[in-house]
Structure 1
Amino acid sequence: MKHFILGVLITIFGFTFTYSQTKISGQVYDNFNQPVPFANIVFVNSTIGTITDENGRFYMEADKKYSSIKVSFIGFQTKTIKLTGSVTYNMEIILEEEASTLDEVVIYKGKTSKKNNPAIDILRKIWKNRRENGVKKFKQYTYNKYEKLEFDLNTIDSALINSRIFNGMEFIFDDIDTSRVTGKTYLPIFLNEALSNVYGDNTIKEYKEVLKGNKNAGFSDNQTLIAFVKDLYSDYDIYENYLKFFDKSFTSPLSRTGVSVYNYILTDSAYVDNKWCYNIIYYPRRKNELTFKGDFWVNDTTWAIKEINLEVTKSANINWVKDLYIEQEFDVLNDSIFLITKDYFQSDFAFSKKEKSRGIYGKRTTLYDNYKFDIKKDKKFYQSQVDPYDQDIYNRADSFWDAARMEVLNKDEQKVYKLLDTLKTVKAFKRLYNIGTILATGYIEFNGFDFGPLFSTVGYNDIEGWRLRAGGRTYFTANDRWRIEGYGAYGFKDNKFKYGLSGKYLVDRKSRLIVSAGNRRDVEQLGASLTNTNDVEGRSLASSSIISTGDNDRLTSINLSAVAMQLEPRKNLTIGITGSFRTLKPADQSLFSLDFNDPETNVLKTKIKQTEIATTIAYFPGRKTAGYGVDRTIVNSGNHATLFLNYGVGIKDIIESDFDYQKIQFLYQQPWNIGGFGQLNSTLEVGKTFGDVPLGLLSVIPGNQTYISIHNTFPLLNFYEFVTDTYATLHLEHNFNGRIFSRIPLLRKLNLRELVGFRSAWGDLSNANKLLSSPSGEFLIAPKDKAYWEYSLGVGNIFKVFRVDFHFRGNYFENPDARKFGVTGSFGFHF
């Protein structure tokens, strides 16, 4: 979401101009002066139409000149209205109810019958034939894809033009235009074009997209922004039951479950590109659900979709998106198979859903051409990687684009490429861009160096007291092959200085071979996570939180040095090896102890010295990244699976290392989209340590003594409440996305979202390890006889940004200082 903020600021600038022959807007009422939602409006003698929104408002335009429109809705008399000119705005249309239905309240409300409805009969035929259309019908396929992304500032008025924020940039308002979808004025600014060759094999379920050219307006390092937007507008299949946008699953109007959430009306039949088609209008049965309104044209023999329009209703429980509009067009291959040729997607990002609120349009136009089928390629073709950052691809000549574009840019779209070059010389624009960068990344940019992250500047814990931290990193471009990072911190209670310094280098871009090294001396909460890594820049949030539920004094001073190597032999599969040496001792010996008896000499030791070599394998199916340098940005964080395997070996007597042991750990995270019932997130962690080790090297079930919700921790466990050498934990959390609250009248308008969670942990601790750690004086127990568990109930989307969880403990109430109930919260921007 952080890149959305940057995208909003960037897209404030630019202009374009388009022209259409006929534009109309207005509102439809009944004879009681009540708005008529979801009424059908179409230009006479055309297939161009729209339907009104929940308030009866509409806007429509066409490239041709039309002289009249037809307005219709079930239960009302159809009305034909002659237009007074090519532009007719603010029309007020009154529909008369049919005499036979004046007393039928169910028809007045727009409900349609599920029985004896010809529209639903056609829908059943679409379901039966949906797998016989598109590229899924063939064993292999390939095609060319042209994609154009654009951002626009919308709802331009004199107040905005005269705003102080645009001082020195007034020239960008010389030309504005009106959206063909909403009728609002807008100012496009940011334009990115991409041309790709797409290959797929349905028999082995492989897919590969090869970028052939990329061009954008003004910014050469915009991969993160573009990748983020592409993820928001991820590819979808209208024949699927659910369409996922903005991390939400919307019920498709072609879904088998659509009859329970949509009304369907068969309104017309006509030839569309020489194919006889039926026109069906659909709209939601209830408010606040993730549904669309719109219409589609379907062929009468193949029952394939020829054209479809989808628009999200304003009552849908989704944040920051006021409008969302989709249209797709299909063409016919060999007189029978329909293939997509155009996909247009427009969303209106805004803080408010009020009609006159200002926002940002995000547009994606995708064109498809040159389909070829049943050309088999070896599986290695799909698995092999190429250098993802070919400079030639991002610096194609104008002649390449003139030949490659499937849709010619109009003259004002071409001006966008020149506009940002001018804006980058304007001080006011530089100031806005710098503010956007700080909000998006947390860093203040200097020439080749970033200061930050600013969000980690202040912290507090019982050992350090108030803590100040300052750091930075080298940063020339998003695709730097090397990076050096460092920080310094000072605790005002312990009067000690801490630091961390690391460097890494991308040796080979194709295999993503990375070497790194560093050293860190800091205070850490070892019991904050199970699958710890030896990242020298890592730092536990639990050791620097400002507010906690109890004493947070079981902290450890760590001196960690590490060298590592990592490569990515195939996409989203990484293999790494790390050699490390660390020294662990209590941050305050009077409050917490890691004492142990040396197994050989029986000498009491107060700190641990340990050398370890760890091999890790990680796989992230479905992960999408941006950037081609040593660092990459994950653009769909939380929406892909993670499999992580770590095998570590402790080696005694190397650099005074204390113990021999072996440790294996496995983590599996998976989000599950449950259609219209929301998303379930699951995490499973298991691990075992072979060999005798003291407290500092054991696996602590991660507690959380803060009021902040921390991923994969147990909110009602204290730090070190359970200590294990063998463990298994399970975390389940389901977000219903408001499905329940939307059915409660008093809560419906608040757009709240309900969440439920369940967490459990089982573990064991050998007597040998208990005995080894006995000098520490810590009371070590593991949840062996019965698994520990707790559950939670949460309310999210409070004022669109807050979430509160109420946690309840299930057992082990006899543990010292056991907490039966707790509350945690979080803050964030979520759709």
Structure 2
Amino acid sequence: MRYITLLTFLFLSTFCIAQNKIKGQIIDIDSRVPLSFCKIEYLDKTFTTNWEGKFNLDISAYDKPLIITYKGYHRKSVYISKNEQFVVVKMTIDLDTYKKVEIYTDNTVNKIVRNVIKNKKNNQPENILGSFQYKNYENILITANPDSISSKIDTIRKKRLFRKTKIKLDSSNYKFKKIVEKYHLYQTEKVNQIQYNKNGQKETILASRMAGFKEPLYEYLGLNLVSYSVYENPFEILETPLQNPISNYGRRLYNFYLVDSLTIQDRKTYKIFFQPKKLQSSRLRGLLYVDAETFAIAKAYYRIYGVVNINADYTFDYYKKEKLWFPKKRKFTVLKGNNVDDIKILGRTIEFSSALEPDQNSNTTDQIYLTIESTPFDIELNKNVTFKNKGIKIEISKDGIDKPEKYWAEFVKDSIDIRRIGTYNAIDSLSKSRKIEKKVYVGKKVLNGYYPISYFDLDLRSIVKYNNFEGFRLGFGGVTNEKLSERYRIGGYGAYGLKDKEFKYNFTPSYLLHRSSETWINASYTDDLDETSKTTFATDSRRFKIYDPRPINISTFYAHKTASIFIESNYLRNSNTYLSIFRSEIIPQFDYTFINKENAYTQYNITAVQLAIQWNPFSNYMLTPKTRIEYEKRHPKFSFQVTQTLPDVIGNDFNFTKIDFKTFYEIPFISGQKSALLFQTGIAFGDVPLTHLYSLQPNNLNRDALLQRITFAGKDSFETMYFNEFFSDKYVSLQLKHTFNKIRLGYRINPEFSIATRMAWGEINKSNSHIGLNFKSLEEGFFESGIECNKIYRGLGATVFYRYGPNQLPVFEDNLSLKISYFLDLGI
């Protein structure tokens, strides 16, 4: 009996002192960014969280709080309840001390970081090795963890006006869980070869397959969501440049903390934590493992918390002979962060969930995440490597598009992920039934302004147009496509203006001279109208717009009959080139006379040669079996164009030269915001008629009342400048714009706000030579600023701009511009 009593006592004692093991994470209450190495006091014991703000703790006394302190934040006491297994502690900033916080400035760690920066050139493979090459297997998955999804069928109560509340069963969670238990949501793989020598680097894609597509989407084979090298500056995440912590300027932005020292591959390394000096910043946070002898990076973990939560992990192998840490594996994961915006991957809109709280979420898409794993193999260092590289960073092997399953099995033979097996068959079947591949093919054509119909691509821009001179302009046009011939093509259009009752047309046959450089020779004849003083660059890309807003308001056109021969080519590195010779018979469609050398011209002939080059020095290009693709569009971009008339050639009437230049620079931010700059200038000297001068894209109607001037806003036009108000033979303009994130107001009302400032200066030397239009000079400058509220509902928005400065008008209302904006999102 006494033994039973003793056992019972021991059992009860054990029960009474039983401990509850909990997990937790400490975050900033506003930004939800984890707070690294927080101090926690519990039962006279003190410990710290890890670099992700996480901790594990055995709770034995529920009446005793966890005391949490962190520099710059209010002290917080947290009591744990018996049923809690995971706790998120949200800390509040102490405004009195936050700005004064100075942490992680220890001299020892700063000395280590300085040595890392100093020895970067000695630790980068591109600098140490004369050449190297390796193959690489990369797998991209969009998936979800089935265990994180509730299988419960929910009840939805939908209130209806003047009617009984409708009760509906929602089984989306249950169905979604069943799907992700069998398959991944999306999968694509590739095997590539990376080669490097002193002339540069090249990637050759040896094999690729993409679920749902017989032929892969080549643009996504160049997808580089994170930098290959940890030494790159800027360091890129989601194609957004960030200042690398191990750069000279990076030390001004980040604080460093020496956590520990440990051994990796028999080499001593320092474990260093870094985070932004501004704790609420969305910049990088992470851990660097630094070789104590060479100060090279032996391992690295990066995190970003914000619009999306991003994890990037790098591991390396040490090569004793070369005294080099060479990449071993790279893993990249994207989850939904502290935002409500969607992320578009591979043409499908998905949401990535935050990993802060592991509770099952009723919204199934909150559990989706994207992961990329990249593993090098067949590594060869200091081997003689040769390759052709004329600005082509990626080349896709034609033989690698249709590899058998046996080939791919070699790369996943060690994988225990059984869901991979059925993913391709499931998505291929879905793609075939829904004709997804055909829709993507059509969508890519539409983005360039065409709709494919058998052997012919219909020109969507030619169908219906409107302007003040022609009224409604009805037409039909297009160009033959690759199904008819890859070597020849014939393009053209015909159009009729209902107001001017005139027929216009164009005919352009073309021949492919050189396939790899995409060099085409073209002949063209056009009988049409064009805008007076319009500035266009022949190398500008053609993107589809559901409407072109400015011509709607224009009334001053000139008719021209133009015959030309021109060559288009991508032969020069990172550039598009256009060279033409043309002759135009020009008749202004407004009251205009040009006085030149005591002669009066109301119509005239121009014969000229034109050379245009667009140079994108920072963009990267891919060569596919079909064409060259600019897969990484980086800024700035530069466009240059020169036009020279040919005296006494085929009845040319004037001798003049025009030189035009523009550059565009867009800066994306990891938060989703972006800033843009457009600089443009031009000069025309010689005998230049008004039709070929500069008018700087005005877009304001010449009407008295503000409401009468409401029309559609242009993309880069001056909204408060009236048509035909200014003309110049030399000018310079600058446009600055910043776009903020969307604001969700509910019921599909999600406006996107931008602020913009535009300015221009110009001169005209022979203003007395142009008779018929009254206009002014821009010598004192033109200035306008405004706010754009775009995409309020179904692409519609509104803009308001105000004109100020030397050319401000006396009446306040005349300086205002109210416009309607429209953005068409094709979702491709």
Give the TM-score of the pair, scaled to structure 2: 0.69
For 1:217 and 1:134, locate their aligned partners in 2 and report how far apart those are by CA, in whole Å: 35
1:527 aligned onto 2:533:
yes
1:716 aligned onto 2:683:
no
- Which range moved further: 253-262 or 500-509? 253-262
Q: CA deviation at 1:514?
A: 1.4
| 8 Å Cα contact 1:75-1:98 kept in structure 2 | no
For 1:678 and 1:35, locate their aligned partners in 2 and report how far apart those are by CA, in whole Å: 17
Q: Tell which structure's C-alpha radius of gyration is larger.
A: 2
Residue type of the partner of 2:736? E
Say if 1:632 and 1:39 are closer, same or farther in 2 by CA, change over 3 A.
same
Q: Deviations over 1:173-230 (max 9, x none)?
A: 898558xxxxxx97243414141232242xx7x4333444444445354344325x61
1:462 aligned onto 2:462:
no
For 1:211 and 1:77, locate their aligned partners in 2 and report how far apart those are by CA, in whole Å: 40
Residue type of the partner of 1:391? K
Say if 1:357 and 1:254 are closer, same or farther in 2 by CA, change over 3 A.
farther
Name the counterpart of 1:731. Answer: 734
1:664 aligned onto 2:659:
yes
| 8 Å Cα contact 2:196-2:202 kept in structure 1 | yes
Q: Deviations over 1:520-551 (max 9, x none)?
A: 4444323342x44399x989989942897xx5
Secondary structure of the corresponding residue to residue 722 of structure 2: coil
Name the counterpart of 2:320. Answer: 334
Q: CA deviation at 1:107?
A: 6.1
Identity of aligned residues (%): 18
Secondary structure of the corresponding residue to residue 696 of structure 1: helix
Say if 1:572 and 1:240 are closer, same or farther in 2 by CA, change over 3 A.
closer
Say if 1:269 and 1:131 are closer, same or farther in 2 by CA, change over 3 A.
same
- Which range moved further: 115-124 or 332-341? 115-124
1:271 aligned onto 2:263:
yes
Residue type of the partner of 1:328? Y
For 1:625 and 1:362, locate their aligned partners in 2 and report how far apart those are by CA, in whole Å: 25
Q: CA deviation at 1:654?
A: 5.1
1:760 aligned onto 2:767:
no
Q: Deviations over 1:49-71 (max 9, x none)?
A: xx9xxxxxxxxxxxxxxxxxx99
Say if 1:437 and 1:613 are closer, same or farther in 2 by CA, change over 3 A.
closer
Secondary structure of the corresponding residue to residue 517 of structure 2: coil
Q: Deviations over 1:215-272 (max 9, x none)?
A: 4445354344325x615x2635434564334453345455666677667665555433
For 1:565 and 1:547, locate their aligned partners in 2 and report how far apart those are by CA, in whole Å: 28
Name the counterpart of 2:97. Answer: none
Name the counterpart of 2:223. Answer: 230
Name the counterpart of 1:511. Answer: 517
For 2:698 and 2:290, locate their aligned partners in 1 and report how far apart those are by CA, in whole Å: 56
Q: CA deviation at 1:331?
A: 1.9
Name the counterpart of 1:48. Answer: none
Name the counterpart of 2:125. Answer: 135
Structure 1: 5+ residue stretches without partners: 1-24, 42-50, 52-69, 83-92, 161-171, 179-184, 317-321, 743-749
For 2:805 and 2:247, locate their aligned partners in 1 and report how far apart those are by CA, in whole Å: 40
For 1:451 and 1:141, locate their aligned partners in 2 and report how far apart those are by CA, in whole Å: 49
1:366 aligned onto 2:382:
no
- Which range moved further: 332-341 or 705-714? 705-714
Say if 1:447 and 1:219 are closer, same or farther in 2 by CA, change over 3 A.
farther
Q: Which of 802, 815, 823 in structure 2 is aligned with 1:820?
A: 815
Say if 1:145 and 1:444 are closer, same or farther in 2 by CA, change over 3 A.
same
Report the number of matched residues: 717
| 8 Å Cα contact 2:26-2:35 kept in structure 1 | no
For 1:134 and 1:482, locate their aligned partners in 2 and report how far apart those are by CA, in whole Å: 48
Q: CA deviation at 1:578?
A: 0.9
Q: Deviations over 1:400-430 (max 9, x none)?
A: 7677999989665455554555445425757
Q: Deviations over 1:557-611 (max 9, x none)?
A: 344333211333342234432122333334xx4xx334446868x4653x34333
For 2:773 and 2:812, locate their aligned partners in 1 and report how far apart those are by CA, in whole Å: 14
Name the counterpart of 1:609. Answer: 605
| 8 Å Cα contact 1:469-1:488 kept in structure 2 | yes
Q: Deviations over 1:647-698 (max 9, x none)?
A: 3332366555433433333444455789999876444444433431322233
| 8 Å Cα contact 1:242-1:675 kept in structure 2 | no
For 1:26 and 1:450, locate their aligned partners in 2 and report how far apart those are by CA, in whole Å: 63
For 1:330 and 1:94, locate their aligned partners in 2 and report how far apart those are by CA, in whole Å: 45
Matches within 5 A, 1:769-808: 770-771=768-769, 773-774=770-771, 777-784=772-779, 786-791=780-785, 806-808=801-803
Secondary structure of the corresponding residue to residue 358 of structure 1: helix
| 8 Å Cα contact 1:614-1:646 kept in structure 2 | yes
Q: CA deviation at 1:621?
A: 0.9
For 1:153 and 1:524, locate their aligned partners in 2 and report how far apart those are by CA, in whole Å: 52
Say if 1:817 and 1:27 are closer, same or farther in 2 by CA, change over 3 A.
same
Matches within 5 A, 1:613-692: 613-625=609-621, 628=624, 634-637=630-633, 639-651=634-646, 656-671=651-666, 681-692=676-687
| 8 Å Cα contact 1:76-1:96 kept in structure 2 | no
Name the counterpart of 2:508. Answer: 502
For 2:245 and 2:793, locate their aligned partners in 1 and report how far apart those are by CA, in whole Å: 30
Say if 1:544 and 1:661 are closer, same or farther in 2 by CA, change over 3 A.
same
Name the counterpart of 1:152. Answer: 142
For 1:383 and 1:361, locate their aligned partners in 2 and report how far apart those are by CA, in whole Å: 37
For 2:204 and 2:117, locate their aligned partners in 1 and report how far apart those are by CA, in whole Å: 32
For 1:500 and 1:72, locate their aligned partners in 2 and report how far apart those are by CA, in whole Å: 71
Q: CA deviation at 1:332?
A: 1.6
1:193 aligned onto 2:190:
yes
Matches within 5 A, 1:688-707: 688-705=683-700
Say if 1:236 and 1:221 are closer, same or farther in 2 by CA, change over 3 A.
same
Residue type of the partner of 2:566? A
Q: Which of 585, 588, 610 in structure 1 is aligned with 2:587?
A: 585
Matches within 5 A, 1:525-564: 525-529=531-535, 531-533=536-538, 544-545=548-549, 552-564=554-566
Say if 1:555 and 1:579 are closer, same or farther in 2 by CA, change over 3 A.
same
Name the counterpart of 2:240. Answer: 248
| 8 Å Cα contact 2:132-2:195 kept in structure 1 | yes
| 8 Å Cα contact 2:121-2:127 kept in structure 1 | yes
Say if 1:790 and 1:418 are closer, same or farther in 2 by CA, change over 3 A.
same
Secondary structure of the corresponding residue to residue 132 of structure 1: helix
Residue type of the partner of 1:146? N
| 8 Å Cα contact 2:23-2:54 kept in structure 1 | no
Name the counterpart of 1:46. Answer: none
Residue type of the partner of 2:766? S
For 2:385 and 2:26, locate their aligned partners in 1 and report how far apart those are by CA, in whole Å: 60
Q: CA deviation at 1:150?
A: 2.7
| 8 Å Cα contact 1:447-1:476 kept in structure 2 | no
| 8 Å Cα contact 2:204-2:394 kept in structure 1 | no
Structure 2: 5+ residue stretches without partners: 1-20, 39-46, 77-90, 94-100, 154-174, 336-342, 344-348, 354-360, 701-709, 744-749
For 1:649 and 1:510, locate their aligned partners in 2 and report how far apart those are by CA, in whole Å: 30
Q: Which of 327, 346, 355 in structure 1 is aligned with 2:333?
A: 346
Q: CA deviation at 1:513?
A: 2.0
Give the TM-score of the pair, scaled to structure 1: 0.69
Matches within 5 A, 1:39-54: none
RMSD: 5.6
1:309 aligned onto 2:307:
no
Matches within 5 A, 1:288-327: 289-313=281-305, 315-316=306-307, 322-327=308-313
Q: Which of 552, 565, 568 in structure 1 is aligned with 2:567?
A: 565
